[in-house]
Amino acid sequence: MPIVKKREYRNLTILQPQEQQKRISSDHYVEGYACVFNKPYELYEMDGIKFYEVIDRHALENADVSDVILQYDHEGKVLARNSNNTLLVETDDYGLFVCADLSKSSSSKELYEEISSGLVTRMSWAFTVAEESYDRETRTRTIKKVKKLYDVSAVSIPANQDTEISARSFFDGVIEEEKQELLVQRKKKLKLKLKLEEL
């Protein structure tokens, strides 16, 4: 999967065909949630230290969702698109809801069959961040504002590696800063210990 710098990639919940209460009229209908609001999840681990992320309930309120596409593994053919009404992305109290009509091309129908048969069950979404915060005590990054939502993609393997790559862009600075602070604290303790030994 190609990684675009400055875009972040996250896992989606299970993507599934749905026969009840379709939001788009189609015999090739799928739906799921791209993200869940206000529920922290482990994003990254380094040297046994876990870092978390949470998507704020209002993060997508002013995001650019004018031309979101559905792809496979964030590349290749466009399988659905919100600008032609084959893809719907909207927020509710739970998270970012996604549904799609996969009937418009042979590739999208093929993906529908793979989803229906359980071969493809997960998705990922690609976005850029406009505003964020970081809680050092809980090691939790909060995405407060999403600038642009680029795509939602069915994936062969969930985007764990991509999540780590995009997480590094944020957490590398945080981790380095924490390491430097620990080093300063250790030096102070060592100096204090040496002074006490001299007495």
Question: In this predicted model, what pLDDT tens digit does every residue of 21-70 receive, in sequence order?
Answer: 787 888 888 888 888 899 888 887 878 888 888 999 999 999 999 999 99
Check whether 184 has a pLDDT greater than 90.
no
What pLDDT is attached to residue 18? 62
Q: What are the angstrom distances between the C-alpha of 32 and each of 92, 95, 99, 129, 175?
A: 12, 10, 6, 22, 33
Percent of the chain whose pLDDT exceeds 70: 81
List the chain domain ranges: 8-171
User: In the chain, what percentage of residues exceed pLDDT 90?
Assistant: 35
d(CA 88, CA 160): 25
Range of weakest confidence among 82-86, 134-138, 169-173, 182-186: 169-173
For the chain, the average pLDDT equals 81
Q: How far apart are CA 191 and CA 48, in angstroms?
A: 28
Query: Is the distance from CB of 17 to CB of 119 less than 8 angstroms?
Result: no
Q: What is the pTM of this model?
A: 0.73
Beta-sheet strand order (sheet of 29-36): 16-17, 29-36, 95-101, 87-91
- Spatial distance between the Cα atoms of 126 and 171, rounded to a whole number of angstroms: 18
Does the pLDDT of residue 168 top 70, yes or no? no
| Count of C-beta atoms within a 10 Å radius of residue 87 | 22
Q: Is the pLDDT of residue 140 over 90?
A: yes
Angle at 164 between CA 160 and CA 166, to 5 degrees: 115
CA angle 140, 3, 65 (to 5 degrees): 70
- Give the tokens for residue 5: 């710098």
The candidate with the shortest Cα–Cα distance to 54, out of 177, 134, 143, 167, is: 143
Alpha-helical runs (H) found in 74-159: 106-116
The count of C-alpha atoms lying within 13 angstroms of the C-alpha of 34, restricted to the half-sphere facing its C-beta, is 27
The per-residue pLDDT for range 81-116, each reduced to its tens digit, is 999 999 999 999 988 888 899 999 999 999 989 888
Q: What is the pLDDT of residue 166?
A: 42
pLDDT of residue 21: 74
